[in-house]
């Protein structure tokens, strides 16, 4: 259960006291916190005591130590779950409880004082996460500090759409903040009816659901006026961002969160910043210009299930110009998607395959037509491309223009252009995350 005093402490600490004057101050603080946290984790986790092999002296660089180690990933974490967590919970017991909650849609059961959750499994295998009561209070204080537009004292009605509820999310409930979970399994009409009655001040949902609600708003079937709209759980495509923002008259904010933690949130200017006041993030660059990278994260506070030197398979693009907010926290211009959705083509030179990031495919679609409402681009195992387009009104689908745009992009990267086929757009349905660009 959340401790209201601890929630308030974390809120105040995040909102007012953990401010860094510049990048150097941030890095020095991270190093001190890393040393404290790595010592705790090494003393309480059998897996990490062997993995980290901390020196007995304190005169070492924690960041250099992490740089010398091979990062771990979800497979390693799940394989060693029993010895990695510090609270003695067994993987089988946790998995069975999380699976039962998914099936019954009752997400309140716990193991002792631990909340158990399960990831959606979009990366190929499902992950478990553990959250203690204190970590739950910490998360609630941090998320409120980063996302509430008018502070703790303002009354808010939060409509929160997600695949699964959690004690973690319910922990933001208070006297002035009313939290309402909307199960993505329910019908769109049911959601519209409930939202119409609630009139939420804050709307939180995956962009696929936000888009469906925005369509209802455009058709006057839904008439709500949230003060803040927040995208979660899926990649926010610029096409969706513009449409959602226009229909609700708001900047679309983002929360970048996954099983591994609360990784980023937008500032008041709508810029996504990595939460480096909670995390240490190493960058594994994937382009020569060092603008795109895969994050390797270490949570500086999480202790029940420590996240140490953990490689995510997301591709992030750095923002080139400084954010007006002046924060030293890393600014991100785009979450590209997962690394396994980078398209691969045969090389025209015949020497090696050519990789093209989702952003280039996305821009090719945009430049091919200005009447696109929705789209998907799928790359099949044969390397052929399937393009699904839904356009505005009765406008024709400009297949030749889009094909030419994709062809230019692939050839500019030195790739062999495969077959490009157009099929009817298939609307997003169910609990599967929306991917507009996907390698099958």
Q: Map out the domains of the chain as residue ranges.
A: 4-131, 147-338, 342-439
Contact 273, 319 (CB under 8 A): no
CATH superfamily of this structure's domain 147-338: ANL, N-terminal domain (3.40.50.12780)
Q: Kindly state the DSSP code that residue 328 receives in the 8-state scheme.
A: -
| Tens place of pLDDT per residue across the chain (440 aa) | 557 788 888 889 888 877 888 999 999 999 999 999 999 999 999 999 999 999 988 889 999 999 999 999 999 999 999 999 999 999 999 988 888 887 777 777 788 888 888 776 554 567 888 888 888 888 888 888 888 888 888 899 999 987 665 555 565 666 788 888 888 888 899 999 999 999 999 999 999 999 999 999 999 999 999 999 999 888 899 899 999 999 999 999 999 988 778 899 999 899 999 999 999 999 999 988 999 999 999 999 999 999 999 999 899 999 999 999 999 999 999 998 788 888 999 998 877 888 898 888 988 888 877 778 889 999 999 999 999 998 877 777 888 989 999 999 999 999 999 999 999 998 877 667 788 999 98
> Please, which residues bridge with residue 283 across strands?
295
Give residue-wise pLDDT tens across range 108-159. Answer: 778 888 888 877 655 456 788 888 888 888 888 888 888 888 888 889 999 9
Instruction: Specify the pLDDT at position 101.
Output: 80
Q: Which residues contact 201 (CB under 8 A, 6 or more apart)?
A: 155, 156, 157, 158, 226, 227, 228
* pTM for the model: 0.86
Residue 24: its H or E element: helix 23-44
CA distance 320 to 404: 29
Closest of 311, 264, 318, 258 to residue 284, by C-alpha: 311
Collapse the DSSP code of 6 into the 3-class scheme (helix H, G, I; strand E, B; otherwise coil) and give the result: helix
Instruction: Specify the pLDDT at position 260.
Output: 78
Q: State how far the alpha carbon of 238 is from the alpha carbons of 202, 234, 252, 333, 416, in Å.
A: 21, 12, 10, 11, 28
Instruction: Specify the pLDDT at position 51.
Output: 97
> Please, which residues bridge with residue 354 across strands?
345
Residue 67: its H or E element: helix 62-68
Q: State how far the alpha carbon of 120 is from the alpha carbons of 103, 219, 411, in Å.
A: 13, 31, 36
For 342-439, CATH number?
3.30.300
């Amino acid at each position: 259960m959340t401790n209201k005093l601890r929630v308030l402490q974390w809120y105040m600490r995040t909102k007012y006291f953990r401010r860094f004057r510049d990048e150097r101050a941030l890095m020095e603080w991270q190093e001190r916190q890393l040393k404290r946290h790595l010592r705790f984790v090494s003393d309480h986790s059998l897996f990490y005591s062997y993995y980290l092999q901390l020196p007995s002296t304190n005169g070492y660089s924690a960041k250099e130590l992490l740089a010398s180690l091979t990062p771990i990933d979800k497979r390693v974490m799940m394989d060693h779950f029993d010895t990695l967590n510090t609270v003695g919970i067994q993987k089988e017991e946790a998995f069975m409880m999380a699976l039962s909650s998914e099936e019954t849609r009752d997400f309140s059961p716990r193991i002792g004082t631990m909340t158990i959750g399960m990831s959606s499994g979009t990366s190929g295998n499902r992950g478990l996460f553990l959250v203690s009561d204190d970590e739950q209070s910490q998360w609630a204080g941090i998320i409120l500090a980063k996302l509430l537009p008018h502070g703790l004292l303002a009354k808010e009605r939060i409509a929160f759409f997600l695949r699964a509820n959690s004690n973690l999310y319910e922990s933001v409930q208070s006297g002035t903040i009313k939290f309402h979970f909307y199960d993505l399994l329910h019908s769109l009409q049911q959601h519209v009816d409930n939202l119409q009655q609630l009139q939420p001040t804050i709307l939180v949902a995956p962009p696929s659901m936000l888009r469906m609600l925005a369509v209802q708003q455009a058709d006057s079937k839904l008439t709500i006026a949230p003060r803040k709209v927040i995208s979660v759980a899926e990649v926010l495509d610029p096409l969706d961002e513009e449409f959602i923002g226009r229909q609700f008259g708001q900047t679309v904010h983002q929360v970048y969160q996954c099983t591994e933690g609360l990784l980023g949130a937008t500032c008041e200017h709508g810029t996504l910043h990595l939460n480096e006041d909670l995390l240490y993030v190493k960058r594994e660059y994937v382009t020569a210009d060092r603008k795109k990278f895969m994050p390797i994260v270490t949570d500086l506070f999480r202790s029940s299930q420590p996240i140490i030197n953990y490689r995510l398979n997301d591709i992030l693009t750095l923002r080139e110009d400084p954010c007006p907010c002046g924060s030293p926290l890393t600014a991100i211009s785009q979450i590209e998607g997962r690394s396994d959705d980078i398209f691969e083509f045969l090389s025209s030179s015949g020497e090696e395959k050519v990789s093209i990031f989702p952003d280039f495919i996305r821009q090719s679609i945009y430049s091919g037509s200005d009447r696109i409402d929705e789209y998907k681009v799928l790359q099949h195992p044969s390397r052929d491309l399937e393009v699904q387009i839904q356009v505005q009104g009765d406008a024709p689908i400009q297949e030749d223009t889009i094909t030419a745009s994709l062809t230019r992009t692939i050839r500019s990267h030195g790739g062999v252009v495969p077959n490009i086929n157009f099929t009817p757009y298939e609307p997003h349905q169910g609990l599967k995350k929306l991917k507009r660009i996907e390698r099958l």
